[in-house]
Amino acid sequence: IDATGEVTKWPFWNRDPMGLWSRGRLVMIGDACHPMRPHMAQGACMAIEDAAVLARCLSETGMADYATAFGMYERTRKERATKVQSISNANTWLKQPEDPAWVYAYDADAVELG
């Protein structure tokens, strides 16, 4: 640290799970929707899963019925994203023996839409 020209402090911001995922024509995915600390290394993974599921929902309903698609997307994704967000923020992931398959074996292409 003494040899470093400039030291930057970089805070980790996180947030409790949010009640609102969409309003009108606006829908959130990724960190905008469920920001989390990096302790599970899953933030970007959740964003990619969100995008894949949202695309499936929109393709199921058609773009004109985005309101139904947004509801379907939230119902499909909220429980999982909230669980990952909560564990990441608490930094308890794999501190006890557990099967991590529920995280790594998730298939956004195959998960049943809500």
Q: In angstroms, what is the minimal distance from the CB of 110 to ligand FAD?
A: 20
Q: How far is the CB of 31 from ligand FAD (least distance, A)?
A: 4
Segment near ligand FAD (CB under 6 A), from 34-42, 72-80, 83-91, 104-112? Answer: 34-42
Nearer to ligand FAD among residue 44 and residue 90 (C-beta): 44
Write the secondary structure of 19-74 as one string of H (helix), E (strand) and C (coil): CCCEECCEECCHHHCCCCCHHHCCHHHHHHHHHHHHHHHHHHHCHHHHHHHHHHHH
Among 15, 26, 44, 59, binds ligand FAD (CB under 6 A): 44
Give min distance, CB of 10 to ligand FAD, in A.
8
In the complex with ligand FAD, the residue whose CB is nearer, 12 or 75, is: 12
Query: Nearest to residue 77, comparing CAs of 37, 28, 41?
Result: 28
Rounded Cα–Cα distance for residues 3 and 48 (Å): 39
